[in-house]
Amino acid sequence: MRLVLVGPPGAGKGTQAEFIASHLSVPKISTGDIFRANVSQGTPLGLEAKRYMDSGGLVPDEVTINMVRGRLAEADAADGFLLDGFPRTVPQAVALDKMLADTGANLDLVLELIVDNDEVIRRLSGRRTCHGCGKIWHIEFDASSRENLCDRCGGELYQRDDDKAETIAERLKVYARDTAPLVDHYGAQNRLVGIDAMGPVEDVTERAINELRSFS
């Protein structure tokens, strides 16, 4: 299955992507994770991406599209994938449509995670990420994360640089301007399904998986 997860910063895309990808046995491909890995390794791609990420803006389409094209050409993505954080602009969506058409494939479904703004701010300001394994935590909702250590790998938890209040505001603005139009793009293709992403993580996962069941 070829799936895209779309939704505002902090909607829970990364959290849900992990469960849904494992449920479907497809790789989870997160452009944010790939950029952050490049930033921490100090690669040329990471140095370029950091300039945009730190201010809450988007990495240019051309750079992002080329990176995703390379990742989708890897063997594990041949039969399916879950994209988290891509596409994020209409030109990226058009490029993805073309990439898939060139290999005779197409997207099966786009899941839109729907949450209100207050919840997004609450989720982002309490988010912590594990340095060791990348697991996503929340200081309010995951009691064990208050020790600042990951209970999966023992790694240290850190707060993302772009989760500061002023950067969050900019990311929300960019989402409304550049990414929200994807809802119309995929709606017109009849591929879009909205998921109520308020409430506990497990409930959101269940709603998403139910949608996948009714689709297949």
Annotated binding site for AMP: 31, 36, 57-59, 85-88, 92, 160, 171
Report in angstroms how near the CB of residue 114 gets to ligand AP5 at its nearest.
12
Write down the H helix ranges in 126-192: 165-174, 181-188
Report in angstroms how near the CB of residue 54 gets to ligand AP5 at its nearest.
8
Number of H helices, E strands in the chain: 9, 8
Closest-CA residue to 199 (of 137, 139, 116, 135): 116
Looking at residue 190, its amino acid is N
126-165 footprint of ligand AP5 as x/- string (CB under 6 A): xx--------xxx--x--------------------x---
Whether omega for the bond prior to residue 87 falls within 30 degrees of 0, making it cis, is yes
Looking at residue 29, its amino acid is I
- Rg (C-alpha) for the chain, rounded Å, is 17
Catalytic residue, candidates 50, 123, 128, 171: 171
205 binds ligand AP5 (CB under 6 A): no
Question: Catalytic positions, please?
Answer: 13, 88, 127, 160, 171
Residues that bind ligand AP5 (CB under 6 A): 7, 9-15, 31-32, 35, 52-53, 56-59, 64, 85-86, 88, 92, 123-124, 126-127, 136-138, 141, 162, 171, 200-201, 204
